[in-house]
Structure 1
Amino acid sequence: MSVRYLDHFFTPRSVAVVGASARPGSVGATVFANLAAGGFRGAIWPVNPRSGEIGGIKAFRDVADLPGAPGLAVICTPAATVPAIVARLGAMGCRAAVVISAGLDAPAPGGGTLRQAMLDAARPHLLRILGPNCVGLLVPGIGLNASFAPTAALPGRLAFVAQSGALVTTVLDWARERRIGFSCFVSLGDGTDVDFGDLLDYLAGDPGTDAILLYAESVRQARKFMSAARSAARAKPTVIVKAGRTAEAAHAAFSHTGALAGADLVYDAAIRRAGMLRVFTTAELFDAVAILARPRAAGTGAGRLAILTNGGGPGVLATDALVAGGGAPARLAEATLARLDAGLPPNWSRANPVDIIGDAPAARYQHALRVLLESGEADAVLLIHAPTAIVTSAEVARAVLPALRQAAKPVLCCWLGGAGAAPARSLCAEAGVPQFDTPEEAVRAWLQLLDYQRNQALLTEVPGAVRLAPPQREEARARMAALAAGGAAVLPEEEVRALLSAYGIPLVATASAVDEEDAVQAAARIGYPVALKIVSPEVSHKSDVGGVALDLDDEAALRQAARAMRQRLAALRPGARLAGFTVQAMARRPQAVELIAGLGTDPVFGPVVLFGQGGVAVEAAADSAIGLPPLNRVLARDMIGRTRVARLLGAYRGRPPADLDALADVLVRVGQMAADLPALCELDINPLLADSAGVLALDARMRIAPPPAAGDALARLAILPYPDELERRVDTRIGVLTLRPIRPEDGAAHQVFFHALTPEDVHFRLFGSQRELSPAQLARFTQIDYAREMAFILTRPGPAGEGETLGVARLVTDPDNIVGEFAIVVRSDLKGQGLGSLLLAALLDYARARGTGAIVGLALSDNTRMHALARKLGFTLCSAADGTVEMRRVLNPQAGAP
């Protein structure tokens, strides 16, 4: 289940407290007291078998005695009683329960655990459960405090969801002191039913929530979380504190990838891929929200910050924090400096930070702020005021507030001092202006905003139309199946090379040899100089036993190296078997950088792609980035750019830059392998050489594990890859076309397709006029989540061989797959050719196969072509008062579609 019935938690008309008590200090008494004192205007029903009245309100002996089904039930009874209470509530028609009780991992009388018994009792009635083992739920806007928190929440427009009960009570107290309000405050507890994914889906569409804050300790259902997080982050700022950062990776892993792909790095990659912002403390969480939730934070330009201060020291502190965090101080142009000169004393700093001197009156702040806001060199302004006897902080705040409210770019305020600065802080807080206690805090918030904008850019950046040649999937799958059937775990080198070759990863010329004589013959075929490496099933890293020899120029050198390797292996690993040698051509690429590309498996998020600095000291360098497959060039190049070694891949000192597209393509291919080969659990390509001539893999190793059950090959992936199996060729009146799902690389073609639509067709599709698709719209239309939506396109090669989009049919389902909303548009000059029927029929087949309950669409009342198409394919049409026509077709009545 997902968002179904979640509205009962946030907008109940009545609340029953099961286990309400008058006994001071008990959970039931605290929850009931909080609820009664919160101002909730609906009915409150205490349930207690031994009390006739609690807090002046009539108590009921059992839930069966209630006047009706409660909109929300809060259960505070012993764990053993919870399953039966849930069953009775569900039978009454209750659809939401907060289970505060703990201890549900205890055995149930009929077998299993009380937790499972609770879920089994709820399932037939579709009753949703928040918890168990949680603090409860607060919705301040309706006075709902269904929790045992010691402090109530103020109303506001921030949603807070946390797994930790202790953190819930701490943040509530912290936020109240700072007058931070919430649309809702949710303690997730164990998250047995309602989890992060469910709440993200609900809150993304909640009009009363401007930003979503999460405190997470773990995620259980990675794909559900990623789909919900990506959807929520597109809709509104979503910030997460992820605890558990310091878990150590396994140092004795089979591969370097396994050692480097620590759990926290994987969470970091998932958060970045979802477009959220990760912070590391609760203070940072609210610092980020102070600026993220403001509309003007949307545009940060190049991230250049101007610092306006009346004291040199605070300005220096802010600059140090900015530069140390990777930020960029704005470089003020001469014209800007001249404008500042006109209103500042001769001894001002004439640079950024703009130090307007300690005796600055409010008017001086007004002048400098206006100039900086109007300058083209600053993307944001940090205003710092240190207390002086000349003018109070409040006077300065009142003077600059009009400009702050109207500013077209972000402005952050820092009012230094204690009680004397409190009035200025209050004025900013009331005006909704971000304000911070120290320059470092303000700079940190600015840097967080830049991180957030970079993550959001990845959601909207459309990759180029370049598409890699398809890999030899069937050959690779057959080879992998044979290896798995034979019980292989660590693959022989020749099999590793064959699999990499099937995916188009460039390899150095290599041959396998069973012994020294065979190695000599192989070297003769390849040509000297060569490299020689041992092959031993018991040795993962050859260099650990001196099993690699380079630059062997002739037969004598090769024989000597082979004999020395055999002796070293026997001495260092007496039990290891020498299975042969690998002979490779020496790659003479003196300007190449040694890199690593690999694949690991995370227990939560499944396969992850790793990139970083390679070579024998890869763990010591610890310079790596993680990405979740599938990847495209945009995502792959972002991974590359997040490493220190990326600086060595650019041009410097006469060296040409490395071919970053070729390098990115290797990462994309590794991601494809993760999707196509479910048995593959670890891969190291190390070293992977990269220079201006391209990339070349010198060595690689793979480990496989028993694949998942049949038909479940994609279950381990957190993000579904492009569904190749849905591609097909179709005969139409205008020739043979390709019908397939849309891809991110279709962005350019989709823009051309949009330009080919008449204004009338744009109006019919978008219910308005529009000449151009924005980058965000283009990304939203082409970078879809295949787990939740589908867009089929009809395409053919254009005049220059590029892909040409002729029509699109789109389906977006709710998270429960009960109802999907569809839309369809065909290029205006190709109407009447049957393309619309073809696309809509394909969408119906897809929805039916997925078990979608019904699909609906809206059309304008004068869009008669769409009405006729819908009737032809079995839709029922119903006119609405707003001038639209709803088109509905039920596909699966059992799904519960309305």
Structure 2
Amino acid sequence: MSIRNLDSLFDPASIAVFGASARPFSVGATVWRNLRCGGFKGRLLAVNPKHQELDGQAVFARAADLPLVPELALICTPPASVAGLISELGALGTRAAIVLSAGLSPEQNAAMLAAAKPHLLRILGPNCIGLLAPHIGLNASFAHTDALAGELAFVSQSGALLTAMLDWARSRAIGFSHIVSLGEHADVDFGDMLDFLASDFRTRAILLYIESVESPRKFMSAARAAARNKPVIVVKAGRSRQGQRAAASHTGALAGSDLVYEAAIARAGMLRVNTLQQLFLAAETLSRFQSNRSEELTILTNGGGAGVMAADAASHAGVKLADLSEQMLKRLDEVLPANWSRGNPVDIIGDAPVERYVQAMRLLADDPRTGAVLLIHAPTAIVPSAEIATALAAQAASGPPRLLSCWLGEGAVEEARRIFQHAGIAGFASPEEAVRAFSMLQIYRRNQAQLMQAPPAEQMSAQQPADVDAARALVAQALAQGRALLTEPEAKALLSAYRIPVVATRAVGPNPAQAASAADQLGYPVALKIVSAEITHKSDVGGVTLDLDNAADVRGAAQAMLARLAQTQPGARIDGFSVQKMERRNQAHELIVGASIDSVFGPVILFGQGGTAAEVVADRAVALPPLNTVLARSLVQRTRVARLLGGYRHTPAADQESLHRLLITVAQMLADIPELAELDINPLLLDAQGLIALDARVRLSAAKPGGISNFAIRPYPAHLIETVTWQGRRLTLRPIKPEDEGQHLDFLAHLDPEDVRLRVFYSRRSIERSELARLTQIDYERETAIVAVVSGGDGVEQTLGVVRATADPDNHDAEFGLIVRSDQKGHGLGELLLRKLMRTLRERSTQRLLATVLAENKAMLKLGLKLGFIVGPPSREGVRELQCPLQDPSTGEILRATVATA
């Protein structure tokens, strides 16, 4: 739904408990006790027709008897009563409810949501444990223990896991900003929680326990927005699958749901971990060490064994230990004993005094080539660990984060741990845990890079455009004939329509003589394959023969194939043969590229090592469309076969650019052809000369499971591109693209400081790379940025102006900003852009457009009045509010929301 009224859920002024009770061990009694003992400062009300008093407090029989309208209701009553209570509370003005009741039937669930909808009343649950907001003393749950206040938010689909987390965290003095049990998440779900917590000032990192996602596009949009603001770490249950569904392609069998979840989590810039312990491990690392960009690690220790354990862990995790330069070794020789390790790990020997730690750490910290430094200390009787910690903490505070720590032991190092923790230095219980944490940080940075990279401009214009009409006609013909599977020649024709190179192929009837004639036309050697809509994997049943050198061999192979299939597949209808030219590419790699429909995230793309053993080798990765060059490259790099594609020994590097283009093309096919349910290109040969598809399988579905509408990530809205005439020039108005980063930087360089001040209320001399990427890599689900571009005589585009708007998660209000290049002002370009934005947002059903404008920005105020905006009076801060309804108010309520300026 949205974040509407979630403030009433998490920061209510008053709470009523329906079903409050004194009966021991009941939900109503536990919830009432937790509320009263949690320290909540607001008004607490008990509702139960069976009681008149509870803990010395009056109990009310029904909602209508309450002396005030509760902002939040906790419902612990039987399932049949829930919908009626929600309706009554909504009418009174209550805006949020936690339904702890379990056992609601689907019909009761639907009735509950229908009762809440007219009043915009938000529901957490049903069948949930509740929520805790320790900073305000709110324990609206029947958990067995309270939570400490802190900066981590934990949202879980599992109530049992939530209580286990509470117990585990409290024993380790870990605090939370919010703990939320979603239960059956009939209303408030992960997307809502991510949107709410992303802007919550008390939350430093968001931890999620996910079992399932029901609204993938909403989830992905919220996750990508939240992950830009703070670390989001996910435990996803259900990694293994006991069996694969029957599928018509390798891709359908390989693209299991866990692989897709992995891809979705990475695409959103989040980090996936496997256990609760790793969840906290990642939160500790990302919150205290996230700004460190080191790719290598140096281990500093007073114990050789601990250093070896850390080195082994690094090797297992793929973490590279830094090579110490000769200069560094000489400098360390000057401050360390003669018997030090003279390598990485740096073993400074067990008798090390404080000064030896400080000197060694200073040398390592002064050389950026040493990367991050992991201190592993075992307590000794020579010097108290706390003295070492005090000295090193002061040293670490003088520079950027470089230090990770592992204080081995318990009581003897307890004070040292506390000193480091107070200094903000990430600490871990064991060498293996510390190395694992550093490895997580590397994975997290790679995931974040997918949000921050600027893909180069696609060089697709030189490639002949796809014949989409021909592809759609081919698909329509097969479906009209009642066929879900395309024949191999049809599948290759589909690829050819998208300009994907395919091996020369002829289709003939089930006649050996016709097969030989087709082979003569193609030239030898050839491959012969059976064509049957009832046989999916031809090689498994002897339906493929390779390297046939003459017509007699082809006839003999065809006759033998027909006889063999008559024995092994007596019920299968044989439609004919496929004869194809054999490709001789001795140094080519056999790959697989495919597409299928995931039950949660919709269309997905697969890449990996191909051939008949694709499932056995299991070297594959999946990605969510849409793709660009950077994302296609990332997909390839997540496989083992990628290391071979770069070349080795006498094998030259493969043409990976053609592979990236193919992956982007497959993503486009999924957008263009919603009937495309499964696609296999296997084997796909790739070498230095390019690629060619040897075989292809395609399964269709009249239900149209593909297409843009089913993408989990809204693709580039190309339909918004339009060309207009402006000042005698052809001007293109289009949504901004990630590829515009360099062009947008040039645009910003053409802005006068005063124009920038009027737009963002202060002058800027530079822009951070991360912010520039944020301006060009937008989420088209909730953001709009329209640029006005012209092409120069050299064909290079220039940006002349941009208007952008960010909608709230409800899509009720969008706040906009507009700026035109300083040398192009006064010619109506701003009006052109703003009108385009207004048309676009109307089509997306946005209710209202807002802006905050400096009172001295007369030009913007004048334009607003011209286009029908209501201009508010000047405020004390010297700004004026602009607002314009985009929809007919009679068709729906127009709400005001606070939205950050894009």
Shorter-chain TM range is over 0.9
1:544 to 515, 540, 547: 540
Greater mean deviation of Cα atoms: 217-226 or 857-866: 857-866
Distance (Å, rounded) in 1 between the aligned partners of 2:635 and 2:363: 38
Q: Which residue of 2 aligns with 1:673?
A: 669
Greater mean deviation of Cα atoms: 793-802 or 487-496: 793-802
Q: Which residue of 2 aligns with 1:795?
A: 789
Q: Which residue of 2 aligns with 1:449?
A: 441
Shift of 1:3: 0.6
Shift of 1:777: 2.0
3-state SS of 1:749 partner: helix
3-state SS of 2:732 partner: strand
Residue 493 of structure 2 corresponds to residue 501 of structure 1: no
Following superposition of structure 1 onto structure 2, how do residues 232-631 of structure 1 map, counting pairs within 5 Å? 232-250=226-244, 252-294=246-288, 296-301=289-294, 303-469=295-461, 470-514=465-509, 515-631=511-627
Greater mean deviation of Cα atoms: 265-274 or 844-853: 844-853
1:22-42 CA-to-partner distances (Å, cap 9, x unmatched) read: 122111111111111111111
Does the 8 A contact of 2:516 with 2:552 survive in 1? Answer: no
Q: Assess, with a 3 A threshold, how the Cα gap between structure 1 residues 174 and 865 changes in structure 2: closer, same or farther.
A: same
1:49-103 CA-to-partner distances (Å, cap 9, x unmatched) read: 1222222322222121112211211111111111111111111100011111100
Q: Which residue of 1 aligns with 2:148?
A: 154
Does the 8 A contact of 1:631 with 1:671 survive in 2? Answer: yes
1:814 to 802, 808, 817: 808
Does the 8 A contact of 2:247 with 2:253 survive in 1? Answer: yes
Shift of 1:529: 2.1
Residue 839 of structure 2 corresponds to residue 845 of structure 1: yes
Distance (Å, rounded) in 2 between the aligned partners of 1:474 and 1:781: 35
2:627 partner amino acid: L
Following superposition of structure 1 onto structure 2, how do residues 103-252 of structure 1 map, counting pairs within 5 Å? 103-105=103-105, 113-250=107-244, 252=246
Shift of 1:378: 2.4
Q: Assess, with a 3 A threshold, how the Cα gap between structure 1 residues 773 and 560 changes in structure 2: closer, same or farther.
A: farther
Shift of 1:792: 1.6
Shift of 1:770: 2.9
Distance (Å, rounded) in 1 between the aligned partners of 2:19 and 2:251: 52
Shift of 1:368: 1.6
Residue 877 of structure 2 corresponds to residue 882 of structure 1: yes
Does the 8 A contact of 1:733 with 1:834 survive in 2? Answer: no
Q: Assess, with a 3 A threshold, how the Cα gap between structure 1 residues 583 and 770 changes in structure 2: closer, same or farther.
A: farther
Task: Give me the identity figure in percent.
Answer: 55
2:637 partner amino acid: G
Distance (Å, rounded) in 2 between the aligned partners of 1:305 and 1:542: 50
Shift of 1:708: 4.1
Does the 8 A contact of 1:597 with 1:610 survive in 2? Answer: yes
3-state SS of 2:195 partner: helix
Does the 8 A contact of 2:670 with 2:707 survive in 1? Answer: no
2:733 to 722, 725, 739: 739
Consecutive unaligned residues of structure 1, counting only runs of 5 or more, are 106-111
Does the 8 A contact of 2:90 with 2:119 survive in 1? Answer: yes
3-state SS of 2:368 partner: coil
Shift of 1:471: 2.7
1:167 partner amino acid: L
Does the 8 A contact of 1:465 with 1:747 survive in 2? Answer: no
1:423 partner amino acid: E
Distance (Å, rounded) in 2 between the aligned partners of 1:510 and 1:613: 24
3-state SS of 1:574 partner: coil
Q: Which residue of 1 aligns with 2:894?
A: 896
1:486 partner amino acid: Q
Distance (Å, rounded) in 2 between the aligned partners of 1:317 and 1:197: 41
2:688 partner amino acid: S
Structure 1: 4+ residue segments shifted above 4 A: none
1:414 partner amino acid: C
Q: Which residue of 1 aligns with 2:99?
A: 99
Q: Assess, with a 3 A threshold, how the Cα gap between structure 1 residues 558 and 625 changes in structure 2: closer, same or farther.
A: same
Distance (Å, rounded) in 1 between the aligned partners of 2:669 and 2:554: 35
Q: Assess, with a 3 A threshold, how the Cα gap between structure 1 residues 885 and 467 changes in structure 2: closer, same or farther.
A: farther
3-state SS of 2:382 partner: coil
2:895 partner amino acid: A
1:537 partner amino acid: A
CA RMSD of aligned residues (A): 1.7
Does the 8 A contact of 1:535 with 1:582 survive in 2? Answer: yes
Does the 8 A contact of 1:405 with 1:433 survive in 2? Answer: no
Shift of 1:467: 4.3
Distance (Å, rounded) in 2 between the aligned partners of 1:843 and 1:378: 50
Distance (Å, rounded) in 2 between the aligned partners of 1:805 and 1:700: 42
3-state SS of 1:815 partner: coil
Q: Which residue of 2 aligns with 1:108?
A: none
Shift of 1:772: 4.2
Distance (Å, rounded) in 1 between the aligned partners of 2:193 and 2:43: 25
Does the 8 A contact of 1:159 with 1:212 survive in 2? Answer: yes
3-state SS of 1:885 partner: strand
Does the 8 A contact of 2:606 with 2:623 survive in 1? Answer: yes
Q: Assess, with a 3 A threshold, how the Cα gap between structure 1 residues 883 and 57 changes in structure 2: closer, same or farther.
A: same
Shift of 1:358: 0.7
Distance (Å, rounded) in 1 between the aligned partners of 2:477 and 2:746: 46
3-state SS of 2:290 partner: helix
Q: Assess, with a 3 A threshold, how the Cα gap between structure 1 residues 829 and 694 changes in structure 2: closer, same or farther.
A: same
Does the 8 A contact of 2:507 with 2:577 survive in 1? Answer: yes
Greater mean deviation of Cα atoms: 573-582 or 117-126: 573-582
Distance (Å, rounded) in 2 between the aligned partners of 1:776 and 1:895: 37
2:691 to 689, 695, 702: 695
Distance (Å, rounded) in 1 between the aligned partners of 2:21 and 2:150: 30
1:509 partner amino acid: A
Q: Which residue of 2 aligns with 1:55?
A: 55
Shift of 1:701: 0.5
1:651 partner amino acid: G
Residue 857 of structure 2 corresponds to residue 863 of structure 1: yes
Shift of 1:249: 4.8
3-state SS of 1:59 partner: strand
Following superposition of structure 1 onto structure 2, how do residues 60-99 of structure 1 map, counting pairs within 5 Å? 60-99=60-99
Does the 8 A contact of 2:365 with 2:402 survive in 1? Answer: no
Distance (Å, rounded) in 2 between the aligned partners of 1:139 and 1:403: 36
**Structure 2 length normalisation: TM-score?**
0.96
Does the 8 A contact of 1:270 with 1:628 survive in 2? Answer: yes
Distance (Å, rounded) in 2 between the aligned partners of 1:527 and 1:336: 65
1:833 to 818, 827, 832: 827
3-state SS of 1:816 partner: coil
Q: Which residue of 1 aligns with 2:899?
A: none
Greater mean deviation of Cα atoms: 421-430 or 119-128: 421-430
Shift of 1:512: 1.4
Does the 8 A contact of 1:851 with 1:895 survive in 2? Answer: no
